[in-house]
Amino acid sequence: MKYRNEKDVLGSVRLPADAYYGSETMRAYNNFQISGVKVGKELIYAYVIVKRAAASANMDIGKLDSRKGNAIIKACDSVLSGKLDESFVLDSFQAGAGTSTNMNVNEVIANKAIEILGGKKGDYRIVHPNDDVNMSQSTNDTMPTAMRIAIHKAINDSLLVEIDELIATIDKKSKEFKSIVKLGRTHLQDAVPILLGEEFSSYSYAAGSARSYIKEADEKLLMLPIGGTAVGTGMNAGNRYRKAVIKEIRKLTKENFSLIESPFGPMSNKIDELAVSASLRDCAVALNKFANDLRLLNSGPRGGIDEIKLPAVQPGSSIMPGKINPSMAEMMNMVCFQVIGNDLVVNEAANAGQLELNVYMPIIAFDILFSIRILSNGMKAFRERCVKGITADEKRIKQNLENDLSIATALTPHIGYAKAADIARKAFLQNKSVMQVCLEMKIMDRKKLQKILDPKNAVR
């Protein structure tokens, strides 16, 4: 392998001759071999959009000459096409603020622009990573801007799409099961009857509520602190640049991003990102409850509730022949646990910001984007391989319903709570139905009892 040497403030750095990244990326690569998980493409591409917008804005206001500026724009387009993905080599766990990621992006764009202008990689006299690509910027305003763009895009392009698909599928099941009367349960004990469709409607409600919280939190991300530079004062940028760059960002993203009036807030505080993370956690809690309930209702097939059947997707045991587990629901549980854990990390990182900057932006961006990715992919798999194929075991549902003791609740308006409780207790101890005990005690005539104790009347 051939190498080239680059100099920075700390001295000389040796790196592969054909690498588009430069000395700062190489140092960070050597320093942070931590997780093996690279900075995600979502964040890198959002960062490149910021760099492209900045180049256009700097040309518009006369700070950057058009030869360099147009080369930078072409280099950004090359990155966004996916041709230079392998040049983004840094671990997600890295130095604070995201300076390493910013410089990785700056160096790759600069070296590609140098190539476009006919030079050799590393000849920063042609296009400089800091002076030209990073003009009017710092990590401290571009990182939160790129984060917000990436998170907003991921929420709208995948997460909300999958939530909507899942809600539609649950609603379809709710309609399919709308006439099936089943035993209700509270405290994991028998309760008054409910329609299976009504039970499923509660899951749709929870997912819909989670969606509204995500959408509400996402709206805050449309306000960007670009142009705040190091601490929010706008030093080395200025209002002309800020107005020009936000115009370009809107053009490139086709989203209604706007300049936040005071960049100080989102640069030093991560309260908006924390709200997004919390809404993802809420979504995970709702989905986890849904998956848990499906596992309970599917439990058995002989020794459990067994009122619904989940699709069999794979063998469930390496030792017990024929055993089938609720694999897709278990997968959904694990996704939800991870998202809930990610929210705790975001909470701690947001809590640890100091003075003019929160330096833990890399881990905040990583965990939020990771949560969005696994929630989106998890919901899709869960919907397609589990929820769509759920069926009701009406025979089993009927058996459980016929043994329901809580139907005695329907007698309360007619004979009072104490007497109804006595009947339920006798039915339990004597292993009889409520109807049998009522007839034996001659509470009222059979016809009236049948009407009162009819589960269909109970759910009406």
**Chain centre to alpha carbon of residue 94:** 22
pLDDT on residue 1 = 84
Alpha helix locations (H) across 137-195? Answer: 139-154, 160-176
pLDDT on residue 403 = 87
Do the beta carbons of residue 226 and residue 292 sit within 8 Å? no
Q: How much of the chain exceeds pLDDT 70, in percent?
A: 100
- Per-residue 3-state assignment (H helix, E strand, C coil) for 353-383: CECCECCCHHHHHHHHHHHHHHHHHHHHHHH
Calculate the alpha carbon distances from 167 to 131, 160, 202, 211, 373 in Å: 50, 10, 11, 10, 18
Distance CA 396, CA 163 (A): 31
Q: Which pTM value belongs to this model?
A: 0.95
Question: 3-class DSSP state for residue 133?
Answer: helix
For residue 326, whether the previous peptide bond is cis, meaning omega lies within 30 degrees of 0, is: no
Q: Is 317 tagged catalytic? A: yes
Q: Secondary structure of the chain: what % helix, strand, coil (to 5)?
A: 65, 10, 30
Q: Which residue has the tokens 């209700």?
A: 184
CATH class of the domain defined by 405-459: mainly alpha
Q: 141: which 2 tokens?
A: 């305003």
Catalytic residue of the set 35, 179, 209, 317:
317
Do the beta carbons of residue 360 and residue 96 sit within 8 Å? yes
Q: Which residues of the chain have pLDDT under 50?
A: none
Using one digit for the tens of pLDDT, what is the confidence trace for 311-370? Answer: 999 999 999 999 999 999 999 999 999 999 999 999 999 999 999 999 999 999 999 999
Q: 297: which 2 tokens?
A: 């209702």
CATH architecture of 141-222+265-394: Up-down Bundle (1.20)
pLDDT on residue 455 = 87
pLDDT on residue 402 = 87
Using one digit for the tens of pLDDT, what is the confidence trace for 209-258? Answer: 999 999 999 999 999 999 999 999 999 999 999 999 999 999 999 999 99
pLDDT on residue 460 = 76
Neighbours of 425 (CB within 10 A): 13
Distance CA 248, CA 258 (A): 11
CATH architecture of 3-135: Orthogonal Bundle (1.10)
If we measure between CA atoms, which residue out of 198, 378, 197 comes closest to residue 280? 378
Domains of the chain, residue spans: 3-135, 141-222+265-394, 405-459
